[in-house]
Structure 1
Amino acid sequence: MAYRQIRKDGDEVLRKISRPVDSIDKKILALLEDMADTMYRADGVGLAAPQIGILKRIVVIDVGDGLYEMINPIILEQSGEQDGMEGCLSIPGVLGKVKRPMKVTLRYTDRNGESITIEAKEFFARAICHELDHLDGILYKDKAHKMYTEKELEEMQKD
């Protein structure tokens, strides 16, 4: 278990496309552990491998229902629409309003090499879409239709 440095906006690795994982070995298992530790330490709900400088198609997500470790995730279906606020560990100090699907069906490989298919809704679907975008070099700010600084949000809450 180790904490990894989270790459920040402007780091070119965040704009690169990640490669699929060919085999799950001890290095991949250690990476999953490090990613979860790093995400929890930073008080995040998701982390993609490129955010720690690793161009592999791996994400970890925990929106409060337990940890999901996803290797080579693929969205099979999406439906509906939601419009909500997002932040990112790689873009501290700002939030953005982003449209995402309300529901997604996702297939991924777990740490044991098993193929898993899940259906995610609402915030979980949002988190999945956000993290999978990282695997293709896309940041949420690229899709945001409005960006807010923390100070702007504080001012809005006062009104």
Structure 2
Amino acid sequence: MIALATCSTVIRVAIRAWKGRFWLTEDVTVCLAWTCFIAMTIGYICVTDTLYRVSEVGNSDMPPYQGFQEDTVFVLKIFFPNTLLLWTTLWLVKLALLLQCRRLIDRQPRCLAVWWVIVGLTSLFYVGCVVSEFTSCHSLHAWFTFGGLYPD
């Protein structure tokens, strides 16, 4: 997926540069989405081996090992920002598509009003996702504490 996302982003930017319409707002949002996607995948790649070890302990395929709790906290510390990066990537792609559609309806006031409603709702849903990330646990400290997500 890294190769596919990189190729499509590079091709998009190259075509825009070749056509002389370079760095439109939607191009910037696509490049930002690609950057967030790459950061998210790097996080997942860094945590993959640790996640498999922790999962094996959770599935009772392996007994708890020295450093198991630290590995679990490491996984949590990667997954928290990765969730935010996932949502940011998705919403930046949505924004890029909305910005591209706006140029098609620029001279139609009714369609433009509907477009603004869609942009507002999309923004509101993104804010809701971010807020839910921070409020889904009883405290942020619990997010990054072994066993903090499911206190006894």
TM-score by length of 2: 0.29
TM-score by length of 1: 0.28
Higher Cα Rg: structure 1 or 2?
A: 2
